[in-house]
Structure 1
């Protein structure tokens, strides 16, 4: 079923591309789509943040990047018949990296926000998450009500969608954003922070890997955010292909398979 679906969808895409080529309004930018460049060069350049648990995390023991987007970037490269090239980035720099043509696509659980959509284009969502707190079991945070108090040090990743939300949300706690190579978890372990604000993937992974960690959920879901793949603006042909890829892996089960593998099944987007 998967093969037939992909062939039919790609045939439709090819027909649409042929229509664009034949249309008098087709411009040079459309004809220079990254889709054509990737298939011609045989290389797919994927921006990934290698410190994102369950999404795109470099295993210190093997040096390999693991997680759902490590798996799905390989699937996308396979569909394109291309070699996968990973370009390391961060939440603070990925927009500039895309705009500078350092990579063709960002695949590392990027929150699709209206602010970011002013600078880049997002695919259909494949995951969605709320905000969670990760704390030390023996620390001062026991419930969500303990978070926003004077003297509590709250951290999150610089450039993440959680950063601007928490700056507005917190009224009493001390808040800071952590830039790589430093990590939120490292700040917590070193007692330079009392609580890490993060998403579901990181909360689950840290809770699994460290016996000192505890997850605290808010009383109601905060800032539910879709995760999507991100591409440069102005390349509709490439965006169409990426959307088709997302729709296809939802239908043929690959998204669910890799989500379950990486303990992200509960946040798969419909």
Structure 2
């Protein structure tokens, strides 16, 4: 991710790119596809960030939309799946170092494209969302731009910058992280919290209050799958074809809906990960 939200947490410094130089996969013992087939395992990066990855603190079992996508991709390849715990900041270097084969929910920024590869097709879409307090009705960002409205954001993120430029009357309250912003919402110290909508949907299950919307004008942000640079495009093309098919046939949305349903939410009453249905 590179989400202005907790994408905030996804942001990684250019300095981290110097950890490893870009070495094509073929120089490490065959193409990416050949290595996966020989290993009989698809290695998927996993970093705690619901709804994409969630590690149960008791059982230590992983679940999430990206975990399910990895399982499906491994099945289609005819191999097993291995989750490799990492962080958003370290994932690109881990891909370069041939410790991971894929990292789901990684935004294809220009900086990242210098050191790792991405498939042509997008994986899914999310948008800047708003969690509204009970009783507050809004459809557009302009509906929230009022002197008596307090909006919680994570300080220093793209969301902070975007809403600071957008709002002329609403008061923006800044917090150190997403959880603090949502805690303030639960305590009714802010009227709105803004993050990317999948994260907000999960946050809503924790506070058990409010309504998540994608205010207009909505801006779709495509996220992708990080891959190793490889002079042989076989694996990159295969991944691109697979995720395009998952998206087009509704499988990606179905996996997202299933995870949300497991959190006690009605997926039919919330924005999903297909921009065409917003």
1:120 is paired with a residue whose SS is coil
CA shift, 1:239, in A, is: 0.8
Residues in 1 aligned to 2:275 and 2:135: alpha-carbon distance in whole angstroms: 34
1:104-119 equivalences under 5 Å are 104-107=101-104, 109-119=105-115
Residues 39 and 117 from structure 1, CA distance in 2 versus in 1: closer, same or farther, beyond 3 angstroms? same
For residues 238-257 of structure 1, the aligned pairs below 5 Å read 238-250=235-247, 254-257=251-254
Return the alpha-carbon distance in structure 1 between the equivalents of residues 162 and 252 of structure 2: 34
Which residue is 1:188 aligned to? 182
Q: CA RMSD for the aligned pairs?
A: 3.9
TM-score w.r.t. the length of structure 1 is 0.67
Please, which runs of 5 or more residues in structure 1 have no aligned partner?
1-26, 179-183
When structure 1 is superposed on structure 2, of 212-221 and 239-248 the one drifting more is 212-221
Number of equivalent positions: 230
Work out the CA distance in 1 between the residues paired with 2:239 and 2:94: 18
Uncovered stretches (5+) of structure 2, i.e. residues with no partner? 1-24, 166-170, 260-266
Q: Return the alpha-carbon distance in structure 1 between the equivalents of residues 230 and 64 of structure 2.
A: 29
Q: What is the alpha-carbon distance in structure 2 between the residues aligned to residue 76 and residue 29 of structure 1?
A: 24
Structure 1 CA distance, aligned partners of 2:247 and 2:135?
A: 41
Show the counterpart of 1:33.
31
Query: Equivalences for 1:114-125 in 2 at 5 Å?
Result: 114-123=110-119, 124-125=121-122
Q: Taking structure 1 as reference, are residues 174 and 101 closer, same or farther at Cα in structure 2, changes over 3 Å only?
A: farther
Correspondent of 2:194 among 194, 197, 209: 197
In structure 2, the partner of 1:49 is: 47
Distance in 2, matches of 1:253 and 1:220, equals: 24
